Amino acid sequence: MSLGAFRSAKGRATYVAAYERALAEMPAPSRTIDVPTGFGDVRAYEWVSGEAPGTPVLLLPGRGSGVPMWKENLPELLPHRRVIAVDALGDAGLSTQTAPMSSMTDQATWIDEVLGGMGEECAHVVGHSFGGATAAALAVERPRRVASLALLEPAFTLALPPVSTFLLTVIASLPLPQALRDHALARIGGIDVAEVRTRSAISEMIASGSAEFRAALPTPKPLTDAQVNRLSMPVYIAIASRSSLVGGERALRRARGIPGAHVEVWPDTTHSLPMQVHAALAERLAAFWSGVDA
């Protein structure tokens, strides 16, 4: 099995430069650490702001996005919580994979090791898109690490997305002509191509990662009924009203069937929901976490 890696040293340098520009637009982290795990070294950042209460938030990014995807969310979350964010192993970012991953259990294992390596017993775990599937895997496999679970437009978690999504994901992740990748990214995100082509540090980072990085990630499968029934922690699920990738009505039914889960369909949002409603979402999540910790 393969490892996630850059296609060339030059490609890595191009990506890292774009990544650092994107990261510079975020609040400066209180701590930056490369945490050793059985599958590689994981780049993690921690932000501490004021008197934010104890249990931290752990942010797991969507496919090809890395920590900078949380640029809009982080300033809204920091008044409420200490925040940890990581670059996923096997995907574009500054983590370095050294052993192949064959299952979502492997994904749960390295996150478990990251929390342990950072001295944390548990966290309020938040995942977007593919990161939602990873967060759910952690909740199933290592429930003691998950104080609460927040799934934001979780792909491949409750049901399969449309078949076209698989093709679009492949197009977006291969070194194909930029125009093709732009259209694929726009369809996946539920936004206009013009928005994808608007130059920003994050868009340049994502484009560079798509072109320069060869990912090696296990493909998640929707949770089985038995796995859903093992979600004993408080669960919050946010679903977009249009261009959602969670899996349609089947996913919505399964989400609402999770005992005690709070499921919310956000109006006028797409798969890019966390960035589109960052302020309101932060307030919703803060109230959710406060209720859990009470």
Is 188 part of a structural domain of the chain?
no
Give the distance from CA 112 to its chain's centroid.
15
Give the distance from CA 236 to its chain's centroid.
15
Cα–Cα distances (Å) from 260 to 58, 111, 113, 150, 233, in that order, read 21, 25, 28, 13, 9
pLDDT > 60? residue 35: yes
Q: How many domains does one find in the chain? A: 1
Q: Determine how many CB atoms are found less than 10 A away from the CB of residue 144.
A: 10
The larger pLDDT score, comparing residue 266 to residue 53, is at: 266
Q: What is the pLDDT of residue 171?
A: 60
Residues composing the chain = 294
Greatest distance between any 2 Cα atoms in the chain: 52
Q: What is the pLDDT of residue 174?
A: 58
> What integer best gives the mean pLDDT of the chain?
91
Taking only the tens place, the pLDDT of each residue in 88-135 is 999 999 999 999 999 999 999 999 999 999 999 999 999 999 999 999
Q: What is the pLDDT of residue 197?
A: 64
Taking only the tens place, the pLDDT of each residue in 132-152 is 999 999 999 999 999 999 999
Q: Which are the contacts of 29, defined by CB distance < 8 A and separation ≥ 6?
A: 45, 46, 47
Is 183 part of a structural domain of the chain?
no
Q: What is the pLDDT of residue 191?
A: 54
Q: Residue 11: CA atoms inside 13 Å, Cβ hemisphere, count?
A: 16
Q: Are strands 123-128 and 146-152 parallel, antiparallel or unpaired?
A: parallel
Is 63 part of a structural domain of the chain?
yes
Q: What is the pLDDT of residue 109?
A: 98
Q: What is the pLDDT of residue 142?
A: 98
pLDDT, average across residues 245-264: 93
Q: What is the pLDDT of residue 200?
A: 85
Q: What is the pLDDT of residue 50?
A: 75
Please report, for the domain that includes residue 110, its CATH number.
3.40.50.1820
Is 85 part of a structural domain of the chain?
yes
Torsion angle (degrees, nearest 10) of CA 156, 136, 290, 46: -100
pLDDT, average across residues 78-97: 97
Taking only the tens place, the pLDDT of each residue in 3-28 is 999 999 999 999 999 999 999 999 99
- Nearest-CA neighbor of 276 among 101, 76, 92? 76
Q: What is the pLDDT of residue 176?
A: 60
Is 245 part of a structural domain of the chain?
yes
Phi/psi at 240 (5° precision): -80, 150
The larger pLDDT score, comparing residue 178 to residue 154, is at: 154
Is 21 part of a structural domain of the chain?
no
Q: What is the pLDDT of residue 294?
A: 79
Is 259 part of a structural domain of the chain?
yes
Cβ–Cβ under 8 Å, residues 237 and 154:
yes
Is 13 part of a structural domain of the chain?
no
Pull the structure tokens for residue 217. 């990630």
Q: Which long-range contacts (C-beta less than 8 Å, at least 24 apart) are formed by 197-205?
A: 201/18, 201/21, 201/22, 201/24, 201/25, 201/68, 202/22, 202/25, 202/68, 202/69, 202/71, 204/18, 204/21, 204/22, 205/15, 205/18, 205/19, 205/21, 205/22, 205/66, 205/68
Domain span at 130: 30-161+219-293
Q: What is the pLDDT of residue 4?
A: 97
Report the C-alpha gap between 69 and 63 in whole angstroms.
10
* Whole-prediction pTM: 0.92
pLDDT > 90? residue 172: no
Taking only the tens place, the pLDDT of each residue in 174-212 is 566 667 666 666 665 555 666 656 678 988 998 899 889
Torsion angle (degrees, nearest 10) of CA 171, 172, 175, 181: 90
pLDDT band at 161 (very low <50, low <70, confident <90, very high): confident
Q: What is the pLDDT of residue 141?
A: 97
Among the listed ranges 80-84, 161-165, 222-226, which one has the minimum average pLDDT value?
161-165
